[in-house]
Amino acid sequence: MMRSRKIYLLVPVLCGLVAAGLSGCHAAKPREDRYPLEGQVISVAPSGTSLTVKHGDIPGFMPAMTMSYTVAKPKEAEQLRPGDKIRAELVVSDGITRMEKIVVTEKTKTEGPAPGTSKP
């Protein structure tokens, strides 16, 4: 009788430990895949939160195309203009993409204010 009583006490403790361990699995950070992207800016959202970019192939992810992407740090897009050539990192997490580490490799030769700014 003593043995069965210990099992009854041990089962809830073990179940609690297993449940706690499994709940920790849900807190894991989602997997992020990162791809280098090179392309030309077609348009910039006035808020700088997204860019439309005509880019080349992204090996292992997608063929060349023109597509709009969310910008992780809108401050990086503040001075971008249509025509600028850029290099960036495309981050894909849970099917959602965003651009990070945006670097201008060639400024457009056209004059005019950056999007979202007014003329002096």
Mean pLDDT by 10 residues, the chain (120 residues): 54 56 62 95 94 95 96 93 97 94 92 50
**111 found inside a domain:** no
What is the residue type of 86? I
- For residues 57 and 87, give the distance between their C-alpha atoms in angstroms, rounded to a whole number: 13
In a domain, 50, yes or no: yes
Residue 55 covered by a domain: yes
Whether 3 maps to a domain, the answer reads: no
pLDDT value, residue 29: 76
* CATH number for the domain harbouring residue 62: 2.40.50.320
Q: Does residue 21 lie within any of the structural domains?
A: no
To the question of pTM greater than 0.85 for the whole model, the response is no
Residue 12 forms part of a structural domain: no
Number of domain units in the chain: 1
